[in-house]
A and B are shown apart, each in its own frame.
Chain A
Amino acid sequence: MAKVPVQFTLNGSEKAEFVDSGTTLLHALRDKIGDTSPKGGCHQGTCGACSVIIDGELRLSCLTVAETCSGADIRTTSGLAEAGVLHPLQRAFLDAFATQCGFCTPGMIMAAKVLLDHTPNPSREDVIEALSGNICRCTGYEPIIEAVLTTARANSQNAA
């Protein structure tokens, strides 16, 4: 299998790797680069555990061919904490018990992050819609929805 170079920015740092042509971004991130925050659940586009943000948009890394990301800006949950301080979404997920086994959590947080980036004051329906591609086996979703709404409320209080 031909090796091809892939170069992109991952959480603000330049990354360059040689991967097998046609390799998925999920595989490149986890097995080549060592960012294991995106999870491989279904590899079918249905669970959302592998969600990452590419050039500001939510994407499924299991269905994205790594080479198509050349030059892209990629964000994963592992890049959210700054100087050891958790991102407000991460904090809210912990505080609201929105994380049980944690397998869905990085994908949920990525989906919630793009929502809040574009819609700082989402309605409950906006949150449900934004998370609709992400499956959680554990929490029953309510704590997750609450964590996202809590983060939004805190953000708007800080902004006021």
Chain B
Amino acid sequence: MALALQTFSAVRDANAALKAPGTRYLGGGTLVVRAANEGDVSVTGLVRSTDPTLSGITVAGGKVRIGASVTMAAIARHPELAALSKAARAVGGPAIRNMATVGGNLFAPAPYGDFAVVLLALDATVGTDDGELPIEDFLARRDGSRAIVTSVAFALPRAENFRFLKVSRVKPKGVSVLSIAAVLEQAGDGTVSSARIALGCMADRPMRARAAEKALIGSRLDQDGVAAALAAAGEGTSPITDPIASAWYRAEVLPVHLGRLLLT
């Protein structure tokens, strides 16, 4: 079924139109048009904004701002975002990456949302016309959110501090069994001084592995040092079951893959 689309240049006007019941924002359309093609009748209209600030990437003073309409392909080829390119390339095949936006990825339910996992590990803020929100608060409230996300912002990690792993069954582009992103800092003596670990597919949306993070602080990144973190990795998770993997399987393999991520 076709959904009437309204296009506005100003985000403010698009936000006003989005208040009407049954309307959804159109990002790249890879989920929302797909749902309409599948016969989802809960959506009756689409709204989008062509404001150019939604499509910009700025990197200055170690801070990154990515407009919500920026695609995974644009992130992957941006020279200053090389640390994140592997993660952006992990989203879908080439055509999907040319369409999938960073704003839409924040709303994608598991098993999707691989880049949102990255943003959670990076402690990003999510921008709307009304200001900025920490990503964890945003993710917790996203189902009821009616405001257009305009941007995400974060401090660019040093390449050596950032790690990302997507586990999928069909290579190179299958959807996630799980995905893990981590920002780790080490003190001069090699022990972990700070750790942020985010997991995808371990709940209906990206979540932090807080127990594992805590267990890593003060430890070395070797077999013995990470053991407690791996034992704690599943704490608080409730993995999804889908055609790719069961919750049981995801829970079983999480420590294995987290171990690989931490030890490489």
Contact = CB atoms under 8 A, between A and B. Distances in A.
Q: Do A and B bind each other?
A: yes
Interface string B17-42: 00000000010111001101110000
A21 B2 contact: yes
Given A59-B99, A132-B94, A21 B33 contact: no
B94 A58 contact: yes
A114 B97 CA distance: 14
A123 interface: no
Interface residues of B, number: 27
B172 interface: yes
B253 interface: no
Contact of A63 (B29, B93, B173): B29
Interface stretch (A40-48, A79-87, A92-100, A146-154): A40-48
A60 B96 contact: yes
Contacts of B96: 45, 60, 133
Interface in A53-80: 57-60, 62-65, 67-68
A12 B28 CA distance: 25
Interface stretch (B3-11, B124-132, B140-148, B155-163): B3-11
Contact of B93 (A21, A48, A65): A48
B5 A111 contact: no
Contacts of A59: 95, 98-99
The secondary-structure label for the interface of chain A is mixed
A22 B172 contact: no
Contacts of B34: 43-45, 63
A134 interface: yes
Given A67-B7, A68-B48, A133 B2 contact: no
Given A64-B29, A65-B33, A65-B46, A58 B2 contact: no
A65 B95 contact: no
A23 interface: yes
Contacts of A4: 5
B99 A22 contact: no
A20 interface: yes
B92 interface: yes
Interface string B91-108: 011111011000000000
Given A43-B37, A132-B173, A133-B96, 10 more contacts: A21-B3, A21-B4, A44-B37, A48-B93, A58-B94, A60-B99, A64-B99, A111-B95, A132-B94, A133-B94
15 contacts: A4-B5, A43-B34, A43-B38, A44-B34, A45-B30, A45-B92, A63-B28, A63-B34, A64-B99, A65-B46, A68-B26, A129-B94, A130-B94, A133-B92, A133-B95
